[in-house]
Amino acid sequence: EPEVTQTPSHQVTQMGQEVILRCVPISNHLYFYWYRQILGQKVEFLVSFYNNEISEKSEIFDDQFSVERPDGSNFTLKIRSTKLEDSAMYFCASSEKRSNQPQHFGDGTRLSIL
């Protein structure tokens, strides 16, 4: 079964540094998403992306965050200047259609900010 894959599985970064989290969505999917999950808390939506642009974002997704689809397979989340509170699991998801369709998740990247 096709999978969403994320790299790295664990990223440790000094506060203030930039990080890029990478995702390869399922190949025939057109909609891509980033969610985060702070330890012990629920999964929170960050941003959705379609046709090379952001289609929806939450209040969490501020100017420190950006997303990009640099080529035909990768989907990235960049955090420009990391803060301690950015420590969380970051999940990428993709779906075939816009809405009312299951979103399929990767296994996440654990981001630890020191």
Q: Which residues bind other proteins (CB under 8 A)?
A: 4, 6, 31, 33, 41-45, 48, 50, 55-56, 58, 91, 93, 98-100, 102-108
Q: Report DSSP state, residue 31.
A: E
Other Cβ atoms less than 10 A from the Cβ of 97: the count is 10
Q: How far is the C-alpha of 114 from the C-alpha of 1, rounded, in Å?
A: 36
Minimal distance, residue 81 CB to other proteins, in Å: 25
Which lies closer to other proteins via its Cβ, residue 17 or residue 111?
Answer: 111
Minimal distance, residue 69 CB to other proteins, in Å: 16
Which lies closer to other proteins via its Cβ, residue 92 or residue 113?
Answer: 92
How many CA atoms within 13 Å lie on the side-chain side of 87?
Answer: 11
Minimal distance, residue 38 CB to other proteins, in Å: 12
Which lies closer to other proteins via its Cβ, residue 13 or residue 60?
Answer: 60
Minimal distance, residue 15 CB to other proteins, in Å: 25
Q: 10-13 and 109-113: which strand pairing?
A: parallel
Q: Are 91 and 36 in contact (CB under 8 A)?
A: yes
